[in-house]
Amino acid sequence: MASLNMKMKKRDNYGAEPDKKKLAMAGIRHQLLLLLRRRHRLFPLRKNQVAVESKLLVPENGGRSDRHLWSSKLSNSYYGCSNASGTFQVLDKTSQTGRYLLIATSGGLNQQRTGIIDAVVAAYILNATLVIPKLDQNSYWKDISNFEEIFDADWFISHLSKDVKIIKELPKGEESRLIGLQSIRVPRKCTPSCYLQRVLPLLKKKHVVQLSKFDYRLANQLDTELQKLRCRVNYHAVRYTQTINKMGQILVDRMRTKAKHFVALHLRFEPDMLAFSGCYYGGGQKERLELGAMRRRWKTLHAANPDKVREHGRCPLTPEEIGLMLRGLGFGREVHLYVASGEVYGGDATLAPLRALFPNLHTKETLTSKKELAPFARFSSRMAALDFIVCDESDAFVTNNNGNMARILAGRRRYMGHKVTIRPNAKKLHKIFTNRHNMTWDEFSTKVRKYQTGFMGEPDEMKAGEGEFHENPTSCICGKKKANEQLKEDEHDSWPWEYSDIGNVPMATRSGLDHQSEVDHQN
């Protein structure tokens, strides 16, 4: 009965005139908070957020930071080293006539880049001549560009001339072999012995073999010399065309005219990425239907639990969350931010919170005229290449997922001097983003810096062999201050090796194995 009376009382009061005294007091508190913000140069987290709802008031400046924002602590102690040792079997000793390897890559630009890199190593293992890989023109992005429209083919061929013979197309006398040619697909992470068992017999018989869907079709862990070949391809031989490089450099120069240092963010908040991730961002039924329909294009993906995916750190951060993380790390409102992205899901409304935190926000579209960008605008791979160049040249690079571009750029920046590369620790950050309205700014920023330790691009953040080799190319990074260790590595490289007579797979000789036993015994 008492509960019924309470309900009736609530109904009676519903829609009643509000207490004028309470309204007046609320208005005074609101005005005082506004004055406080102006005095201390603070602004609310969201444009329409009521100040009393949250303790978190985000400062305009970056505040104190536990590290230098624009460089890694020990970057000068390391350098990229991918030259072949004297034991590496060079081309003139290994080339086989009548073996031609055709490669059909798969996916977007950077996924195809991994295929191009591994195609060279696969050709080396098989003692085959590599025909310039064919790019994927039937993917989600529907880009009809061929290899020579994205990459400098002549440089690619000449730079690797001592490693693998590469040609632009099959010789005229071999073209007839294409009739009835069937593509084969090797397993993912196929080892050198896997290639010798599955591909070489067919290559010897048919003389021409095409490998399809060639992405991540080579083992992650390989012999040191093969890993260094990967690095020579990735960091030196694969180069964009002069037209793309020139436009990319124009974008970099225009960022440099605005600020001495700048941050590049690979936002990766496009509809396809969000659909693939299986995450939910609060857009209601409209978002669920749109992204759900797109997700069904990947037939191998199972139904996802968005909450679990986010808890495990597998969701891209929202633009607002990225901005808060950067501010927590010490990047102030004055920092210039280049956003590398395709179509952002939700458009300008999605970007608004990030722009509020970092008003000096730029894209390739804002830095150029329509006329300048016209030769690239209709081709997703060429647009992605421009973003790649700016991100590579940035003083600090921020990834927002563990995709192909993020991994390749992270590895490249390690190889080129451990330039600052920020990988959000999304699993840990999720906890403080969820609870941020119950924290002060000092509490929030302290936890951001704590959780991001080990995710800032410092040397030795990742152990040797951890993650994809394209992201963590430890075989190709040498320490300047570790002379004794380098001498040991050189001694290891000079061990007597023999090469298989059917492929370029190193095999230790008896004396080499004895030497290995002595070293193992000493350790």
Rounded to 5°, the CA angle 317-320-324 comes to 95
Please, are residues 136 and 123 in contact by the beta-carbon 8 Å criterion? no
**Rounded Cα distance, 363 and 331, in Å:** 19
What pLDDT sits at residue 245? 98
What pLDDT sits at residue 295? 86
Q: Provide the whole-model pTM.
A: 0.81
Q: Cα separations (Å) of 513 from 63, 191, 223, 261, 516? A: 57, 21, 15, 51, 5
The DSSP annotation for 228-291 comes to HHHHHIIIII--B-HHHHHHHHHHHHHHHHH-SSEEEEE----HHHHHHHT---S-HHHHHHHH
Q: Which residues 6+ apart lie within 8 Å of 330 measured at CB?
A: 62, 63, 64, 65, 67, 69
Residues of the chain with pLDDT under 50: 1-4, 6-18, 30, 32-52, 482-484, 486-502, 506-523
Instruction: Calculate the CA 108 to chain-centre distance.
Output: 12
Per-residue pLDDT tens for 17-46? Answer: 445 555 555 555 545 444 444 433 444 444
**Rounded Cα distance, 502 and 520, in Å:** 30
**Rounded Cα distance, 266 and 387, in Å:** 8
The DSSP annotation for 189-210 comes to T--HHHHHHHTHHHHHHHSEEE
> By CB neighbour count within 10 A (0-12 exposed, 13-18 middle, 19+ buried), where does 502 fall?
middle
- For 480, the token pair is 């300047």
What pLDDT sits at residue 350? 93
- For 319, the token pair is 């633009």
Q: Which residues 6+ apart lie within 8 Å of 420 measured at CB?
A: 69, 70, 71, 72, 395, 396, 397, 413, 456, 457
What pLDDT sits at residue 514? 40
What pLDDT sits at residue 404? 94
What pLDDT sits at residue 112? 97
> By CB neighbour count within 10 A (0-12 exposed, 13-18 middle, 19+ buried), where does 466 fall?
exposed
CA dihedral sign, ordered 275, 278, 282, 287 = positive
Strand order in the sheet with 420-422: 361-362, 336-340, 262-266, 396-398, 420-422
**Rounded Cα distance, 2 and 75, in Å:** 71
The residue type of 257 is: T
What pLDDT sits at residue 447? 96
Q: What 3-state DSSP class applies to 419?
A: coil
Residue 131: enclosing H or E segment and its boundaries? strand 129-131
